[in-house]
Structure 1
Amino acid sequence: MPRQTVKLLLVDEQDRVLLIQAKDPRTGRELWHPVGGGIEAGESLQQAAEREAHEETGLEVLPAGSPVWTRDDTYRFDGRVWEVHEDWLLHSVPHFEPLPAALSDVEARSVLGFRWWSAAELMRTSDTVFPAGLGALFADLLRDGPPEVPVDITSRSLTANDLSL
């Protein structure tokens, strides 16, 4: 059974998305990924998003998000294989400087920093970004706006496993 997760596209007034820079504690590979994580028992998607945003970035108030994408993935991180189903939410937030409030042990060992990225910067970078193709997906979302029904992006992006994390 895949782990149910929420991924957050925290987008500021300049249409930049906040990503976390992390280092796999086992392999040393570095990557950028969105804020988010597992949905706990009894939590709604929005409640999980609020908790994850606070834990990972210190954000106190998270406006309601718009469901935009779904994705299924299997990847390796910290010596484990993770099978996940992701629900992606788009949140417009005022620009802020992230300061984690409650990282898990694995996150505390792996988080290196944060950066606000434009779609163009994501498409140009040679850094590893999770999921691959996020720049083009984000550019499409900014251009077209949120879809009426979340779009399955599984086939539009390479999986992290394909990147041999």
Structure 2
Amino acid sequence: MVRQAVKLLLLDPDDRLLLIQSRNADATYWYPVGGGIEPGESLQQAAAREAYEETGLRDLPVGTQVWWRDHTYEYEDQRYDVHEEWLLHRVEHFDPVPAELSAYEARTIIAFRWWSAPELEATRDTVFPPNLCRLLTTLLTNGIHSIRP
């Protein structure tokens, strides 16, 4: 079964992207806000719920769908097939304060940071997806296009 997910590109007025830093047993990495779509939820409802749970952001503006991605990942020795819908949300800059993290998220999330595209390009940290900087730069340069990461 393919897990349906939503990923949020939360961009502030200075075109900085909010990413979450997480640590598991063997790695530290950055990734966008987002997660699974629950049964009966629309894409926008899932985005608003995930933004609130992970960052405390209320009243998420409606997002614009900018791309999608299918991929497989492994977690605790199991493989998961995921279909992600990526939404762009323009938001005011804010300091994230998680509201309702899962037990796993509470254990593994260690930081939040607003990143500019040049900062993402220069970092040696692991960022998921690996081509996020290129995608963000293309989006900021060429506008909204449906591209596949």
TM-score where L is the length of structure 2: 0.96
Q: Which runs of 5+ in 2 are unaligned?
A: none
Determine the C-alpha separation between the residues in 1 that align with 2:78 and 2:114: 28
Q: Which runs of 5+ in 1 are unaligned?
A: 154-165
What code does the residue aligned with 2:49 have? Answer: R
Q: Find the counterpart in structure 2 of residue 159 from structure 1.
A: none
Determine the C-alpha separation between the residues in 1 that align with 2:75 and 2:11: 26
Determine the C-alpha separation between the residues in 2 that align with 1:145 and 1:79: 39
Distance change >3 Å, CA 79–CA 22, structure 1 → 2: farther
Say if 2:71 is the partner of 1:73. Answer: yes
Query: Paired residue for 1:88, among 86, 89, 106?
Result: 86
Distance change >3 Å, CA 30–CA 77, structure 1 → 2: farther
Distance change >3 Å, CA 35–CA 78, structure 1 → 2: farther
Say if 2:56 is the partner of 1:62. Answer: no
Structure with greater strand percent:
2
**Does the CA-based 8 Å contact 1:123-1:133 persist in structure 2?**
no
Q: How does 1:10-159 map to 2 (within 5 A)?
A: 10-24=10-24, 27-147=25-145, 150-153=146-149
Task: Provide Cα deviations, 1:9-50, integer angstroms capped at 9, x if missing partner.
Answer: 0000110000000012xx330000000000001100000000
Residues paired across the two proteins, number: 149
The offset of 1:79, in angstroms, is: 4.3
What code does the residue aligned with 1:8 have? Answer: L
Identity rate of aligned residues, in percent?
Answer: 57
The offset of 1:74, in angstroms, is: 0.9
TM-score where L is the length of structure 1: 0.87
Where in structure 1 do 4 or more consecutive aligned residues deviate above 2 Å?
76-82
Q: Find the counterpart in structure 2 of residue 3 from structure 1.
A: 3
Determine the C-alpha separation between the residues in 2 that align with 1:44 and 1:116: 27
